[in-house]
Structure 1
């Protein structure tokens, strides 16, 4: 039945040409430049905290320890508060204009910082930046809907590369440029990101969803370098309509013969109706979709488990660990090297995720991350190796984590749900991300004081091994599959 949905009769599938590949890379890079802004925003506090606390601060008064903790955490609060609005914005304003809208908080953030001297204004600015972070994560939907099925995973993973590139550049700027030069540079980049997004056509899936078939044909033609009147474009629009057809799951679940799909395509009057906006809410459509509910459970487990593997804690405690292991190197240099490791891992993920698949990478990188956590835990607990080995383990864990289980849940979130509930489901998954991140950081210090830092990493390793087992049992392979074929996988009794 999956083959039937991938290659139905009378539908010419678009083949990925080199020119289309280049166009999709350029378009994806424009969207991923929004992720760079997240990297700039997240890297900025590390280069300013020391100055903010000193008597030579540019602020009206030095920051207290409590205010410094707020500086690093309020972005998550802003992201969590904005996440429910992301689904509404991407469903009602469109993928393109919603992405532009969520670029605006970065501009506002840097504008406030460039003008303000009071600590409350700085804290307000980083909270507003968190709204942009939430929208940047949701913009993965835009990437997944303009990318060819054969490269969709790599294109979506490119957003992580954009974030780490921004993180690396942010660390470098903070280490070598004056305070206000950094702020002005970041604000300029945020404006450029919004301008780049304006140059892109809207997602064809959204255009079909709201009934703008002619505009959808032009969008498909642009991203695939074909004529708007070609059979390939006509076939792609029909495929999108099938994904939006409320009868799709019934056909898949009943496992009817291939003639059912041909009959569906032949009902021209009904397929035109499918192109019109659904009157039902996304929540109602989600409740009625068995495939989306099953996908939601799996994605939530993947997302929450990836956070509980310890990567946020590892990155927060990297600086004191680096200072202990290599006191001759500056913390800023070590942070830049760590960002380079993360960037390289994310680029490799882009190159291999559509070749080796999501499932295999999740299993292998979860196992590798678990081994690193066990070794790091014993090293911190027993001090059995050189301090340089601690540095190696930090880099190795972050490399393996970013190569697979730190990126793939975001790819799956953007590709496994039906188009009409995709934005809603993205909001739910992203909310789980912010909540689990808050819980982890909130309970980490009390648990560390109770059992010690080394044993905490044993717990992280247990989550890693659990995620590897769960991925092997429950996660279906989605590489190269269209949205309708993916729904068939989640309707099976065993993924």
Structure 2
């Protein structure tokens, strides 16, 4: 009970989470920047050596995704080698270097290189969710891990605001300074105790637990937390879980924890672990289907749709309001996800997103309502989607995997995200040409309903559960399916 009610511990974990999630805010900066800089780069007022061509503008908006896809596999390589803290700091460096180059150069090629290289920093988002989940108490883990999405929207909103207030170079200076600040903040916090135990550095792990729980290193709470981590790393855990929780084996595990963690590689462990494979399928399915629900293409088409619906509003103001909408939904999600759970939030928001897709599609198809209704539906759909569907896959990614495969599976989940973003944007224009813009949103609605049905029938509820308890859910689910 003391662990749950210790306010100083919750405060420290929250502040540490804000520092770690800062990385997704930096990602928001790099995604927002091209949208309000394109006008400068394509006119005779450009600060570069020449005006950008349409191809170069296209690259300016897309190269970050290429860098993110290429950078994500590095997460799996680094996160279990140099630790969560130093990996997170390392993935902040591409932003510092990229903004510095942009500040000093007038070369179009170097600006495009910087946008691509900054994508490597975006590829480090898998580390962010893992790091936060491993320093958080089970009772508030969902709220804290969901902050990775909130951080991205805060970055978008802040950058959009700067773009409307400051000059080109002033914006770059601010982004550079805030990228450096991210690395400095991470120096003030401890590495993940799970990683430290994994590397056999128990004393440092105890100090880390004491830091985040605000207790003394030799306290009973630290001893209990260390034992819980060792249980997660015990090579007998899979056998016990798959043996339908044999009481004798479970008692042996509790009383005589293994002295050394598993020695096999992450890939071998993933292949041999039934619960890990079940968890990976659930995460990848939720991640993939959430992207196919159409939110990303709605963002792409938001500006022309807003111009039609509310032509009197400035595009920058529309972008700022949309970012506020995203952020408000993510903050509400953070406050309710540990109360209502992942499963119900995913189910309800997926179905609601399907309804709004039908409304938007029919409005674009038949124009049966006033123009302002188009803007209303876009904002309403964006809010509902980011209230649950957009966040739950990232929360699941952070909490459902055992420590041995957490880095690998989180990276695979992020690869799925980058690939599905690419696939969705690639098929969107041909689909619009074939059936029209309105009916395309009917297709997205069907995907939303499929996601809601999957969540309700097959997605286990992981709210407030420890990692080993979550593994039992995926093993039981597989047995039930069989």
Q: Same fold by TM (over 0.5)?
A: yes
Asked if 1:435 corresponds to 2:419, the answer is yes
Q: Which residue of 2 aligns with 1:457?
A: 441
Q: Which residue of 2 aligns with 1:389?
A: 373
Asked if 1:224 corresponds to 2:213, the answer is yes
Aligned pair partner of 2:191 in 189, 202, 218: 202
| Offset of residue 250 of structure 1 | 1.2
User: Does structure 2 conserve the Cα–Cα contact (< 8 Å) formed by 1:16 and 1:224?
Assistant: no
Unaligned runs of 5+ in 1: 1-11
After superposition, the C-alpha distances for 1:103-161 in whole angstroms (9 at most, x for unaligned) are 00110110111111111111110111111011034311000000000000000001111
2:125, 2:74 → 1: CA distance?
13
2:356, 2:126 → 1: CA distance?
28
1:120, 1:460 → 2: CA distance?
37
Unaligned runs of 5+ in 2: none
Aligned pair partner of 1:357 in 334, 337, 341: 341
After superposition, the C-alpha distances for 1:390-421 in whole angstroms (9 at most, x for unaligned) are 00110011101110010110110111011010
| Offset of residue 257 of structure 1 | 4.1
After superposition, the C-alpha distances for 1:408-458 in whole angstroms (9 at most, x for unaligned) are 101101110110100000111111110110111112112111111001100
Q: Which residue of 2 aligns with 1:129?
A: 118
User: Does structure 1 conserve the Cα–Cα contact (< 8 Å) formed by 2:234 and 2:260?
Assistant: no
Structure 1 consecutive aligned stretches of length 4 or more whose deviation exceeds 6 Å = none
User: Does structure 1 conserve the Cα–Cα contact (< 8 Å) formed by 2:87 and 2:127?
Assistant: no
Q: Which residue of 2 aligns with 1:371?
A: 355
Q: Which residue of 2 aligns with 1:163?
A: 152
| Offset of residue 230 of structure 1 | 1.3
- 1:93-492 matched pairs, under 5 angstroms: 93-267=82-256, 271-274=258-261, 278-492=262-476
2:250, 2:444 → 1: CA distance?
47
Q: Which moved more, 1:111-120 or 1:13-22?
A: 13-22
Q: What is the TM-score normalised by the length of structure 1?
A: 0.95
User: Does structure 2 conserve the Cα–Cα contact (< 8 Å) formed by 1:309 and 1:463?
Assistant: yes
RMSD: 1.3
1:248, 1:13 → 2: CA distance?
28
1:16, 1:206 → 2: CA distance?
26
| Offset of residue 255 of structure 1 | 2.1
Q: What is the TM-score normalised by the length of structure 2?
A: 0.97
Asked if 1:22 corresponds to 2:8, the answer is no
2:446, 2:427 → 1: CA distance?
17
After superposition, the C-alpha distances for 1:179-219 in whole angstroms (9 at most, x for unaligned) are 00000000000000010011110100000010001110110
1:425, 1:43 → 2: CA distance?
28
SS at match of 2:139: coil
1:68, 1:220 → 2: CA distance?
48
1:13, 1:96 → 2: CA distance?
27
User: Does structure 2 conserve the Cα–Cα contact (< 8 Å) formed by 1:100 and 1:194?
Assistant: yes
SS at match of 1:139: helix
After superposition, the C-alpha distances for 1:276-297 in whole angstroms (9 at most, x for unaligned) are xx43211001101100101111
Q: 1:93 to 1:81 in 2, by over 3 A?
A: same
After superposition, the C-alpha distances for 1:57-101 in whole angstroms (9 at most, x for unaligned) are 111111111111111111000010111111111110100000000
SS at match of 1:211: coil
1:112, 1:186 → 2: CA distance?
12
User: Does structure 2 conserve the Cα–Cα contact (< 8 Å) formed by 1:16 and 1:148?
Assistant: no
User: Does structure 1 conserve the Cα–Cα contact (< 8 Å) formed by 2:126 and 2:407?
Assistant: no
1:305, 1:78 → 2: CA distance?
23
